[in-house]
Amino acid sequence: MKAVRLHEPVGIPGLRYEDAPDPVPAIGDVLVKVHASGITPTELDWPLWTDQLGHKRDYIVPAHEFSGEVVALAWGTAGLSVGQEVFGLINGYRDGAAAEYIAVEARDVAPKPKTLDHVAAAAIPQAGLTSWQALFDHGHLEAGQTVLILGAGGALGLVAVQLAHPVGANVIGAGRSGVRSHVLEMAADRFVDLEQDRWWDSVGQVDLVYDIIGGDVAARAMSTLKPGGAFVSVVLPPSELRADIRFVNFVREPGRAYLKEIANLVDTGKLRVEVGAVYPLSETQKAFTDQSNRTVRGKVIGARSSCSPDPHRRRFSCIEWVGRIRAPEAWHCARPGQTIELKTPARRPPKPADSAALRTRHHADTRELARLRRTRPRPTDESRAARLQLPAHRQPRRAAAGCACRHAVQLGPQPCERV
Ligand SMILES: NC(=O)c1ccc[n+]([C@@H]2O[C@H](COP(=O)([O-])OP(=O)(O)OC[C@H]3O[C@@H](n4cnc5c(N)ncnc54)[C@H](OP(=O)(O)O)[C@@H]3O)[C@@H](O)[C@H]2O)c1
What are 316-338's pLDDT values in tens digits? 222 233 333 333 333 333 444 44
Query: What's the 211 CA to ligand 1 centre distance in angstroms?
Result: 9
Confidence check: pLDDT of 153 > 90: yes
pLDDT of residue 192: 97
169 and 217 housed in the same domain: yes
Residues with Cβ within 6 A of ligand 1? Answer: 40-42, 126, 130, 151, 153-157, 175-176, 179, 194, 212-213, 217, 234-235, 251-252, 294
User: Does the CA dihedral 102-108-114-117 come out positive or negative?
Assistant: negative
225 and 196 housed in the same domain: yes
The residue whose CA has the least distance to atom 40 of ligand 1 is 176
Answer yes or no: are the C-beta atoms of 301 and 127 closer than 8 Å: no
316 and 334 housed in the same domain: yes
For the ranges 28-37, 132-141, 210-219, 388-397, the lowest mean pLDDT is seen at: 388-397
Overall domain count for the chain: 3
pLDDT of residue 294: 78
Residue 93: CB atoms within 10 A of its CB come to 16
For the ranges 145-149, 218-222, 313-317, the lowest mean pLDDT is seen at: 313-317
Average pLDDT over residues 202-227: 96
Which of 39, 42, 159, 191 gets mutated to test ligand 1 (max ligand atoms within 8 A of its CB)?
Answer: 42
pLDDT: which is higher, 322 or 357: 357
List CB contacts of 64: < 8 A, sequence separation 6 or more.
37, 40, 43, 89, 90, 91, 92, 96, 97, 126
**What pTM value is reported for the model?**
0.76
> Is 99 part of any domain?
yes
94 and 159 housed in the same domain: no
Q: Which residues pair with 397 in a beta bridge?
A: 410
160 and 209 housed in the same domain: yes
The residue whose CA has the least distance to atom 18 of ligand 1 is 154
Q: How confident is the model at residue 293 (pLDDT cuts 50, 70, 90)?
A: confident
132 and 118 housed in the same domain: no
Q: Cα-flanking dihedrals φ and ψ of residue 75, to 5°?
A: -60, 135
Among 47, 91, 26, 93, which residue's Cα sits nearest to residue 65? 91
Q: Which amino acid is at 400?
A: A
Answer yes or no: are the C-beta atoms of 174 and 180 closer than 8 Å: no
Q: Which residues pair with 105 in a beta bridge?
A: 29
**Percentage of the residues of the chain whose pLDDT score is greater than 90:** 63
> Is 266 part of any domain?
no
95 and 140 housed in the same domain: no
Last residue of a domain, one of 182, 216, 249: 249
Among 333, 145, 130, which residue's Cα sits nearest to residue 233? 130
What are 39-61's pLDDT values in tens digits? 998 999 998 999 888 899 999 99
What are 247-284's pLDDT values in tens digits? 999 999 999 999 999 999 999 999 998 888 899 999 99
Q: How confident is the model at residue 306 (pLDDT cuts 50, 70, 90)?
A: very low
330 and 228 housed in the same domain: no
The domain in which residue 42 lies consists of 2-124+273-343
Q: Cα-flanking dihedrals φ and ψ of residue 104, to 5°?
A: -140, 150
